[in-house]
């Protein structure tokens, strides 16, 4: 018999969106550019949307180190 159900809509139990936004801002700041928040907002609550690393690459003269950013961002996020 089911005694309880727990629905965790992203952000219900833990505010993950503000942490994610803060960390992405730090990544963009470290590269000397500003995170385009209007573009970032398009992916909130979705599985699809603009990719932040693509957005970062579009603002830089050379491609970013995606692997290094992903490792550092994940560590900071956790």
Q: What is the pLDDT of residues 66-75, one digit of tens each?
A: 999 999 999 9
CB atoms within 10 A of CB 35: 19
Residue bearing the bigger pLDDT, 11 or 42: 42
Q: Would you say residue 45 has pLDDT above 70?
A: yes
What DSSP state is assigned to residue 34?
-
User: Is residue 6 classed as helix, strand or coil in its secondary structure?
Assistant: coil
CA atoms of 1 and 76, how far apart (whole Å): 40
The catalytically annotated residue of 10, 51, 54, 65 is 10
Let me know if 8 is a catalytic residue: yes
Q: Please provide residue 52's backbone torsions phi and psi, each rounded to the nearest 5 degrees.
A: -60, -35
The catalytically annotated residue of 8, 38, 61, 67 is 8
- What pLDDT score was predicted for residue 30? 96
Let me know if 54 is a catalytic residue: no
Span 10-41, pLDDT tens digits: 667 778 888 999 999 999 999 999 999 898 88
Q: Are 24 and 35 in contact (CB under 8 A)?
A: yes
Residue bearing the bigger pLDDT, 8 or 48: 48
């Amino acid at each position: 018999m089911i005694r309880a159900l727990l629905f965790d809509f992203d952000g219900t139990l833990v505010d993950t969106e503000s942490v994610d936004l803060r960390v992405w801002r730090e990544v963009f700041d470290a590269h000397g550019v500003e995170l385009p928040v209007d573009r970032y907002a398009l992916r909130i609550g979705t599985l699809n949307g603009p990719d932040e690393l693509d957005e970062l690459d579009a603002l830089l003269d050379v491609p970013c180190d995606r692997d290094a950013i992903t490792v550092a961002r994940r560590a900071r996020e956790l």
